[in-house]
Amino acid sequence: YCFSVNVIGFVYSALQIFDLVKYFITKRHTVNPKLRGYFNFAMDQVMAYLLLSASSSAATTTHNLSIVLLEDKFMEIAKASVALSFVAFLAFASSSLVSAFCRFN
């Protein structure tokens, strides 16, 4: 679940970057600018909530596995993955705040 949500977040971010590059090159928006603001705000909210949910479930699973199993390289990698997933949540949450501020001000 955590991996899938992070992949979806990566793909969404990559599509936003490609759309922005296309705009800088062609000076034309792919989507209506009025709808784009609402879409970005909604998607940032959805991704932030999905990442928080996935990160917390992965953290719980990693903690339970670390109790049962001995600490090894796999558990270190799993804990680092969970930490980076929380960092991705912070990025999407702050992006959502910026989208809201820009859209509704």
Sequence spans of domains, the chain? 1-104
Q: Which residues of 29-46 are buried (b: 16+ CB within 10 A; e: fewer)?
A: eeeeeeebbeebbebbbe
pLDDT, residue 105, reads 61
First to last CA, the chain: 35
Q: What does the pLDDT read at residue 103?
A: 65
CB 95 within 8 A of CB 16: no
Taking 90 as the threshold, does the pLDDT of residue 36 lie above it?
no
Residue for token digits 């909530």?
Answer: 49
Q: Are 43 and 12 in contact (CB under 8 A)?
A: yes
- If you average pLDDT over residues 32-40, what whole number do you get? 84
Give per-residue pLDDT as tens, 42-63: 898 899 999 999 999 999 998 8
Flag whether the pTM goes above 0.85.
no
What is the per-residue pLDDT for 18? 93
